[in-house]
Amino acid sequence: MGIFETLSFALPELVLVIGAMALLIAGVFLGDGSARQISLGSVVLLLIAVILVIFGPGAPAAALFDGAFRIDAFSDFAKVIIFAAAAVAILMSDRFLGGEELGRPEYPVLIVLAAFGMSLMVSATDLISLYMGVETQSLALYILAAFNRDSRRSTEAGLKYFVLGALSSCLLLYGASLIYGFTGATSFEAIAAASKTTESNIGLVIGLVFLISGLAFKVSAAPFHMWTPDVYEGAPTPVTAFFSAAPKLAAMALFTRTMVTSFPGVIDDWQPVIALIAVASMAVGAFSAIVQTNIKRLMAYSSIGHMGYALIGLAAGTATGASAVLIYMSIYVAMTIGAFACILMMRRRGGMTENIADLSGLFRTNMPFALILTVLMFSLAGIPFTAGFFGKWYIFVAAVQSDLIWLAIVGVFASAISAYYYLRIIWYMWFDEPAPAFERDVGPVLRLTAWASALLMFPVLVIFMGPLRQAAENAAASLF
């Protein structure tokens, strides 16, 4: 493949990188007051990237740069959601861009760069390009977490994230080097071939465990989840909204691709590890969230639990499992963005409030808001009549098909326990005496995002789940 043809496949990424750099330069010339314009430009960039991915040179699958990256239905599926989620995250920060917290042109540019890193991640088919993608993403995220540099909590969150993230990168690199040492290859395809022929290779397995640990950190699965609540709570809320959506999907897609394409031969070795991580995550998500009073921390634990469910699909290790992961993650991204839009709407005179108790009686003071949040909470809990249920359903089907019935049973019990804290939010909103009302003027973006997310969960996806399932199935099929 000639260089121009190769680059034509990488067009969305090229647009993002070149555009981001141009915006960065423009930001320097225009000064701090230009945050709004720059963010608008970033959103346009991301939308162009989405369009390029959808209507791009639609070869079914192509290996680029000597097999370091691969463009296929799987990466396309993930990229569309990642770019869209990043664009929404930038738009949702709109209110904050004028203020002190985030009012700098670098903010949207960093999100674009992070999205670029994520798109490398979901396309990576080589340990080196995998690491490159992960680091590109992470470096941007570290800065974003600490973006409100005058706030102690934000700085602390960024530092914590950076130190622990660096540690996880070490684990990942160490694992990658062991795998390279024992298989003699870095490309997924070659590793898969080598691991098939090598008799249960203890060095490879140790390397694999390190690699899994590193990746588990990125998806914030237990027991590598410690950073999540602190970072979620400390980072500025629009940043948290971004953190909880696109990076999770990217990391999970990367995780899935790595596991099923490079280690199918040693599935018996990694399946129990992933299953264990899934169980631990679901347990942490279910139990730790019960006692939280801060809604951002609650969402952090909730996301840990959700990663546990998605990992069940990965543990299945089949095409059904991979498509279940994609379905689960895309629904998760849509609902978590909506939930954070709601959290961002929790404003009273004097700024943001983050206590769950502040939602008391919301149903009486602001019915549309309460309805939206109710739908989203039921969806997060996975109760039927919301799309969240479909995600769980396909995950459990995948688990059962791979004879992991016990994992599915653990999953359903974890979801019953976690239903309690989602119900608690609903009970505050509906059953309790009203707290002072929130500000009504929240801007159109947040309101629209929240509405769109809630309407997607019910009824749009409930009726039109078929196409999403089909797309996810096609995407997953391209891995096998």
Q: Which residues bind other proteins (CB under 8 A)?
A: 363-368, 378, 383-385, 389-390, 392-393, 396-397, 399-401, 405, 408-409, 412-413, 415-416, 419-420, 423, 427, 430-431, 434, 437, 440, 465-466, 469-470, 473
Work out how close the CB of 278 gets to other proteins at its nearest, in angstroms, rounded to a whole number: 15
Q: Which is nearer to other proteins, 60 or 466 (CB)?
A: 466
Burial of 377 (C-beta count, 10 Å sphere; 0-12/13-18/19+): buried
Q: Which is nearer to other proteins, 176 or 370 (CB)?
A: 370
3, two tokens = 């260089």
DSSP 351: E
Work out how close the CB of 437 gets to other proteins at its nearest, in angstroms, rounded to a whole number: 5
CA-CA distance, 17 to 24, in Å (whole number)? 10
Work out how close the CB of 44 gets to other proteins at its nearest, in angstroms, rounded to a whole number: 34
CA-CA distance, 241 to 420, in Å (whole number)? 23
Q: Which is nearer to other proteins, 166 or 431 (CB)?
A: 431
CA-CA distance, 308 to 367, in Å (whole number)? 33
Q: Which is nearer to other proteins, 2 or 350 (CB)?
A: 350
- Asked whether the beta carbons of 287 and 247 are under 8 A apart, the reply is no
- Asked whether the beta carbons of 38 and 109 are under 8 A apart, the reply is yes
CA-CA distance, 128 to 186, in Å (whole number)? 7
Q: Which is nearer to other proteins, 28 or 409 (CB)?
A: 409
- Asked whether the beta carbons of 299 and 339 are under 8 A apart, the reply is yes
Work out how close the CB of 368 gets to other proteins at its nearest, in angstroms, rounded to a whole number: 8
Work out how close the CB of 379 gets to other proteins at its nearest, in angstroms, rounded to a whole number: 11
What stretches of 360-440 adopt beta strand conformation (E)?
none
Q: Which is nearer to other proteins, 127 or 399 (CB)?
A: 399
Work out how close the CB of 438 gets to other proteins at its nearest, in angstroms, rounded to a whole number: 9
CA-CA distance, 23 to 32, in Å (whole number)? 13
- Asked whether the beta carbons of 354 and 456 are under 8 A apart, the reply is no
